[in-house]
Amino acid sequence: MNSPQFGRLYFVIIGHRDQPLFEFEALKQEENLSIPREDYRHLCQFVAHAALDAVEANLTGPTGTQMFFKNIDRFNEWSVSAFVTTSQIKFLLLHPVRDESQSALRKEEADIIRNFFFAVYEHFIKLMLNPFYELDSEITSRGFREKVHQSVKKHLLNL
């Protein structure tokens, strides 16, 4: 399996049955698409799915009351950060791992990701208030996708 490229981001919202409700892949603008995206898609899903175990281990542990978990899992160059809503919906973000030398940036990174998660959480709450959205169903709202896209652009493109 090829290792993932830096700069790729994969965001997924996961429901109560471990099913993905919403997937979003982001590329940095300067990135060229020389490597087909299809090769990564299943790997992204595998990594995110496997990271759920780590999220749940954190939830049952002493950190169980937290919402944001930074770098709970890691695969090759990817790091997984998670956010768990009060209704136990999980947001996962796969992002590239920083080198140890950039420790200053790493601290900043946690804030960036946290802000991103909270921005998406806000949109998600609004979506949940929509009477036509059923809990645990796939999110097909174009408006939501648009908003997540904006949040990615706003928060994560410097990541």
Nearest-approach distance from CB 2 to another protein, in angstroms: 11
Cα 27 from Cα 126, distance rounded (Å) = 26
Closer residue to another protein (CB): 44 or 89 = 44
Handedness of CA 32, 34, 38, 40 (dihedral sign): negative
Judged by CB under 8 A, the chain residues 57 through 86 that form the site for another protein are: 57, 60
Beginning with the edge strand found earlier in the chain, give each strand of the sheet holding 90-96 in spatial order. 20-26, 9-14, 90-96, 78-84, 68-75
Note whether 125 binds another protein by CB under 8 A: no
125 φ, ψ (degrees, to nearest 5): -60, -40
Which segments within the chain are labelled E, that is strand?
9-14, 20-26, 68-75, 78-84, 90-96
Using CB under 8 A, pick the residue from 31, 111, 122, 138 that binds another protein. Answer: 138
Using CB under 8 A, pick the residue from 5, 24, 27, 52 that binds another protein. Answer: 52
Closer residue to another protein (CB): 51 or 119 = 51
Using CB under 8 A, pick the residue from 31, 53, 122, 146 that binds another protein. Answer: 53
Note whether 141 binds another protein by CB under 8 A: no
DSSP 35: S
Residues whose CB falls within 8 Å of the CB of residue 53, separated by 6 or more in sequence, listed in order: none
Note whether 41 binds another protein by CB under 8 A: yes
Closer residue to another protein (CB): 56 or 108 = 56
Using CB under 8 A, pick the residue from 24, 27, 28, 45 that binds another protein. Answer: 45
